[in-house]
A = this chain, B = another copy of it.
């Protein structure tokens, strides 16, 4: 394992690419935004056209947005699955439905390639530090090939089974909770405002009470400070709670909290806030209740 390709130099992928460089690997970075590739090259990474580089890669790390983008990169019109070396590893880090992960494993296996189902959690800062949490499942061969990459990028790796699927299933459980907790934080802080509780007080007190959550402590300050620069955007939860909704419906599983949270993120997106920080779901609550949030005019 010495030469790695990484597709998707966004907030997560860029940091992961840097972590791979720090581990001494040769890393080719690919992104639709040429300025991200140039930035990565300035840090010691390499660019190039994926189709031309593919044959030299020991592994391809996919940090794209969804299963559709993964399928396009691998099997689309200029898909690279056919150009990769026999036995090369594909590391799938996007959030996808478990069935999609199983499908990638099967199609890549038929092409003589290894696949590790490896969704990530932890945010951009942890990605840059090489301190992500990764949920991983796949064949022992895929795990063995992935070892130096996981070592470079993650502080914690949960090994969840010997086929693709379980890791993506666990990631969906995490996203269900994360999405519900962000919407709940927004609901609670705006509800508090109707009862005379200022968001900053709410944050200070609840963080030390049984009502707290990782997301309340992480996103609550965005609301209290009126700072909606996107650390992770509203559209991410439109997508991820959408996948939860799809696979819950297919399983005939009634998920009323996830469904309610999805509607709030959809409303945020419908209000034109899709690219703002996901904490902007608070603006849906505020507008519905005639409240002025911190940082808004008059707030």
Contacts and interface: CB of A to CB of B under 8 A. Distances in A.
A279 to B, nearest CB: 14
Contact of A196 (B166, B183, B209): B166
Q: Is the interface of A mostly helix, strand, loop or mixed?
A: helix
A175, A190, A212: most-surrounded residue (chain B CB, <10 A): A212
A248 B191 contact: yes
Interface in A240-269: 244, 247-248, 251-261, 263-264
A191 B260 contact: no
Interface stretch (A4-12, A30-38, A55-63, A199-207): A199-207
Interface in A88-135: 98, 121-123, 133, 135
Given A173-B206, A187-B255, A192-B170, A181 B211 contact: yes
B248 A256 contact: no
A188 to B, nearest CB: 5
Contacts of A255: 187, 191
Copies of this chain held together in the complex: 2
Given A173-B202, A218-B210, A248-B191, A180 B257 contact: yes
A interface residue count range (under 10 / 10 to 19 / 20 to 34 / 35 or more): 35 or more
A214 B205 contact: no
Interface in A205-238: 205-206, 208-216, 218
Contact of A197 (B166, B185, B244, B261): B166
A124 to B, nearest CB: 12
A91 to B, nearest CB: 19
A194 interface: yes
A244 B191 contact: yes
A53 interface: no
A84 interface: no
A208 B156 contact: yes
A78 interface: no
9 contacts: A98-B195, A156-B208, A173-B192, A177-B188, A184-B257, A212-B213, A252-B289, A257-B260, A260-B260
Interface of A: 98, 121-123, 133, 135, 156, 158, 160, 165-166, 169-170, 172-178, 180-181, 183-185, 187-192, 194-197, 201-202, 204-206, 208-216, 218, 244, 247-248, 251-261, 263-264, 285, 288-290
